[in-house]
Amino acid sequence: MKASRQLSQWSSFTFDRHQISAEVALTRRAQGRLEGKLAALGFDTRQELVAEAWLQETISTAANEGERLNLQAMRSSIARRLTGTQQDSLATPRHIDGLLDIMDDAITNARAPLTHERLQGWQAALFPTGFSGMTAIRVGAYRDHAEPMQIVSGGIGGETIRYEAPLSAAVAAEMNCLLDWLKALQEQDAFVQAAIAHFWLEAIHPFEDGNGCVGRAVIDFMLARDAGEQSRLIRISQCLLENRNAYYEELNQAQRGSLDMTQWIAWFIA
């Protein structure tokens, strides 16, 4: 079966608006209940909830990448960002500070456009040494290697190719299409936009490493344009970590199926 990117109308996504609208309505009602509860809380309590949500999101993002973090150092670093004050704290690793910077920028500057330079800056912040583990990678730029970018599962000797992304030579043009779509705001609901934008970036897989983190930051960015700072309470990375197998399965089905995004969008919003 051809991957979606290989079909002649790649990026001309369709979906059943009636089915999607039902999921969106349920989500909006849940969002309304949350906003009502938050309105009854004092500022300090809301800040505590935001800080805890941000901490859990960072932990989940790191867990998705196979890392464990120093919680005390993370709490101090998040507190500094939320209050704007300097505090004595344990030092956080540079790449974790970079991850926090990305998560903060996606929400705080949600009204600024997404550009090639901004996305590349997010990816570079994840790899301040220029290495992913022991391997030197291209940072602050899209991948440029000649060999295919393959997403593989399974152990050595039993690998399964789940998906093959566009060749590096096509990445710039593919990313232009994605960013042009975002500028045009072709779909008005933020949840649907987030579902499509995340799928699209993951399908292109524009970087040598860090695509997952950048893809989740794109979700944060899209939702923050709709709900502002309050969107920090939506724990996207935690939800995806808790439903990791289903997430990969739904993403793979969407990447290898037709251009009908109904199943993927409905699952994502739910």
Domain boundaries, position 73: 4-269
Average pLDDT over residues 129-158: 83
Is the pLDDT assigned to residue 1 strictly greater than 50?
no
Is the pLDDT assigned to residue 111 strictly greater than 50?
yes
pLDDT value of position 268: 93
pLDDT value of position 4: 47
Which of 216, 214, 218 minimizes the C-alpha distance to 235? 216
Looking at residue 117, which CATH number applies to its domain?
1.10.3290.10
pLDDT value of position 7: 47
Most confident of the ranges 42-56, 85-99, 147-161, 198-212: 198-212
If one counts every other C-beta atom within 10 angstroms of the C-beta of residue 73, the result is 16
pLDDT value of position 127: 92
pLDDT value of position 174: 93
Is the pLDDT assigned to residue 6 strictly greater than 70?
no
pLDDT value of position 205: 94
pLDDT value of position 246: 92
* Predicted TM-score (pTM) of this structure: 0.84
Which of 11, 4, 1, 14 minimizes the C-alpha distance to 173? 11
Q: What is the 3-state secondary structure (H, E, C) of the chain?
A: CCCHHHCCCCCCCECCHHHHHHHHHHHHHHHHHHHHHHHCCCHHHHHHHHHHHHHHHHHHHHHHCCCCCCHHHHHHHHHHHHHCCCCCCCCCCHHHHHHHHHHHHHHHCCCCCCCHHHHHHHHHHHCCCCEECCEECCCCCCCCCCCCCEEEECCCCCCEEEEECCCHHHHHHHHHHHHHHHHHCCCCCHHHHHHHHHHHHHHHCCCCCCHHHHHHHHHHHHHHHHHHHHHHHCCHHHHHHHCHHHHHHHHHHHHHCCCECHHHHHHHHC
Is the pLDDT assigned to residue 140 strictly greater than 90?
yes
Confidence category of residue 158, pLDDT binned at 50, 70, 90: low
What is the domain count for the chain?
A: 1
Confidence category of residue 8, pLDDT binned at 50, 70, 90: very low
Q: Which stretch of 38-52, 217-231, 237-251 has the lowest confidence by average pLDDT?
A: 38-52
**Per-residue pLDDT reduced to its tens digit, 202-214:** 999 999 999 999 9
Confidence category of residue 10, pLDDT binned at 50, 70, 90: low
